[in-house]
Amino acid sequence: MRPILRLLPIGIALAVAAPLLLIAAALLRPSGESWAHLWETRLLEMLTQTMLLVCAVGLGTLVLGTGLAWLVSAYSFPGRALFAWLLVLPLAMPGFVLGFVFMATFDYAGPVQSALRAWLGPTLWFPEVRSLGGAAIVLTLAWYPYVYLLARAAFAEQAASTLDAARAMGSSRTHALFRLVLPLARPSLVAGVTLVMLETLTDFATVRYFNVLTLSEGILRVWEGMMDRETATQLAALLLLVALGLILLERILRGAARYTQLSGAPRIAPLPLHGWRAAVATGACALILAVAFVLPAAQLVAWALAEQRSATMPTADGVAERYIVVSLGLAAGAAALAALCALLLTTGERLGGGRVQRGAARLATLGYAMPGAVVGVGVLTLLAAFDHAIIARGLVGALLLTGSLTGLFYAYVVRFLAVAYGSVDASMEKVTPRLVEAARCMGASQGRIIWRIHTPLVRAGLLAGAMLVFVDVMKELPVTLLLRPFGMDTLAIWTYMLAAESFWQAAAIPALIIVLVGVLPIALLVRTGERVAVR
């Protein structure tokens, strides 16, 4: 193996891990007074709320994502082909946007409760919207497509012969689902749910709307409110431990199991549904799609139109265009970088084969579990130290990294490499070792194996990974807030700032643009995925 291929993954891992190690080092320092204060008061609440939310959202997305994926993969009913890809659309809706639309619609002053009160009287009881349950519902609806996408890909790759064999041996379709299909799809399901759980760990904007005190929210409170970088970093280190636990759990659940399927075998043939069964299937898909995407999007459109008619916020000319260009540029750049790094890591891991490369990959994907604000400040501290060192050597102005695009992209890669990696790694897992062995027997070099076997086979994974990163960066808040250069405001920041002050009508315009821009790559991916599946 060429040394560059061996060393690059290690380099990437070190670069990605450096700001996180800076934060992890906080655990080694003796804890201060405010740490004791935290322990006395809200640490336990933070931990339990975090765990509850993570479990609720993980379970919710597992059930919803897998259920819908199985429905559209194994059965045929009216609208199935359309729903198969429409159900991915909520991915384009940032969690905090869905959060503020839900809040505005369902809280006391919102239209739903107001209408119910007008109808049933003012003493009407309604579950508290600003609660852990409310947050869990919104986050589940926002993030189930992660599981859905991976589950559907896994089902699509399963050879029909396996299912047919089970059916021939007399097991029902449902029985086969639980005993055969789901266990075979386990690596993908676990990857999807882990992704969702890590997203939940780092979310701060949505939980803030819903008054849920999670670790991420706690870190921001301590950091911002008390200016207590030490305690915040220690909390962040704690969060890192929780995330490590989740990742470890994923590894254990994925296990040493390696399921490879015959490529080119016929796919599972969908069973046609008739009568009320078909109606229920169509209805279920339509309901989820309506609640998670169509209705919120319609509300955003209504707000945006109202804002056009009578502006609650004056906006200067050309501002919107600039936000769009900046958002697209940042997202595309970060997606390309993250996909490349992921490819390097996974191939290095498999061909290098060494424990070092495997460790490097683990290390490089920790960023996803860290709250954006922590990644941001970790990167900021690191770059500032770097800049100071350069200035100390009298090279002022040569290369300033703080407040630069380089710093921002660096932080994006730290934060989102795991997304691209997970996707590439999962498709890499389906590359049968036998294929590689066969190629080796025929004298192919490792470079040729990457180029001719891995790259084409993981192309779908690469594209999916890049797309996920693209959409994630479009929606990203804390890192962008902290590190963007002047004039580099994104649509997400614009939306968040307005929504934070309840200027929902004005916030709807940038939010809609994020959704629309996000829909395009998603449609692209789903179509490509379909082509691959057909072939």
Residues between 7 and 36 that touch other proteins (CB under 8 A): 8, 34
Task: Work out whether 40 is an interface residue with other proteins (CB under 8 A).
Answer: yes
- Candidates 76-84, 170-178, 192-200, 391-399; binding stretch for other proteins (CB under 8 A): 391-399
Smallest distance, other proteins to C-beta of residue 222, A: 8
4 lines the binding site for other proteins (CB under 8 A)? yes
Q: Within 13 A of 345's CA, how many CA atoms are on the CB side?
A: 32
CA–CA distance, 506 with 494 (Å, rounded to integer): 10
For other proteins, which residue of 37, 267, 358, 459 counts as binding (CB under 8 A)? Answer: 37
Residue type, 509: I
Half-sphere exposure for 86 (CA within 13 Å, toward CB): 17
Give the nearer residue to other proteins in terms of CB position, either 185 or 344.
344
- CA 474 to CA 97: how far, in whole Å? 12
Q: Is 53 in the site for other proteins (CB under 8 A)?
A: no
Indicate whether 340 belongs to the interface with other proteins (CB under 8 A). yes
Give 152 or 350: the residue with its C-beta nearer to other proteins.
350
DSSP state of 256: T
Distance, CA of 434 to CA of 340 (rounded, Å): 25
What letter would DSSP give residue 241? H
> What is the DSSP secondary-structure string of 279-342?
HHHHHHHHHHHIIIIIHHHHHHHHHHHHHHHS-SS---TTHHHHHHHHHHHHHHHHHHHHHHHH
C-alpha of 79 from chain center: 27
Q: Segment 221-240, which members bind other proteins (CB under 8 A)?
A: 221, 223-229
Q: Is 307 in the site for other proteins (CB under 8 A)?
A: no
Q: How many residues does the chain have?
A: 535
**What is the x/- site pattern for other proteins, positions 347-376, by CB under 8 A?**
--------------------------x---
Interaction residues for other proteins, span 85-114 (CB under 8 A): 103, 107-109, 114
Q: How many residues contact other proteins, by CB under 8 A?
A: 86
**CB 141, CB 294: distance < 8 Å:** no
Q: Which is nearer to other proteins, 107 or 164 (CB)?
A: 107
**437 touching other proteins, by CB under 8 A:** no
Which residue stretches of 87-131 are H helix? 95-106, 111-120
Rounded Cα–Cα distance for residues 339 and 470 (Å) = 10
SS in 3 state form for 49-88? HHHHHHHHHHHHHHHHHHHHHHHHHHEECCCHHHHHHHCC
Nearer of residues 12 and 190 to other proteins, judged by Cβ: 12
For 203, the token pair is 């979310």
Residue pair 465/334 in contact (Cβ under 8 Å)? The answer is: no
CB of 75 to other proteins, least distance (A): 41
Among 135, 139, 401, 463, binds other proteins (CB under 8 A): 401
Single residue of 402, 417, 425, 525 touching other proteins by CB under 8 A: 402
Among residues 28, 169, 256, 316, the one that binds other proteins under rule CB under 8 A: 316
- Least spacing, CB of residue 147 vs other proteins, in Å: 29
Q: Show contacts with other proteins in window 484-503 (CB under 8 A).
A: 484-487, 489, 493-494, 497-498, 500-503
Residue 404 as a binder of other proteins (CB under 8 A): the answer is yes
Closest approach, Cβ 522 to other proteins, in A, equals 24
448 binds other proteins (CB under 8 A): yes
Note whether 415 binds other proteins by CB under 8 A: no
* d(C-alpha 186, C-alpha 155), whole Å: 10
Residue numbers 124-163 binding other proteins by CB under 8 A: 130
- Stretch of 19-27, 37-45, 157-165, 281-289 contacting other proteins, by CB under 8 A: 37-45
Contact of 103 with 130, CB cutoff 8 Å: yes
Q: How far is the CB of 157 from other proteins (least distance, A)?
A: 25
For other proteins, which stretch binds (CB under 8 A), given 81-89, 173-181, 330-338, 520-528?
A: 330-338
Applying CB under 8 A, the span of 134-142, 243-251, 426-434, 444-452 interacting with other proteins comes to 444-452
Q: Which is nearer to other proteins, 270 or 403 (CB)?
A: 403
CB neighbour list of residue 83: distance below 8 Å, 6 or more residues apart: 72, 282, 285, 286, 289
Q: How far is the CB of 355 from other proteins (least distance, A)?
A: 22
CA distance linking residue 95 with residue 86, whole number of Å:
18
Q: Who contacts 168 (Cβ-Cβ below 8 Å, separation ≥6)?
A: none
470 class by beta-carbon count within 10 Å (0-12 exposed, 13-18 middle, 19+ buried): buried
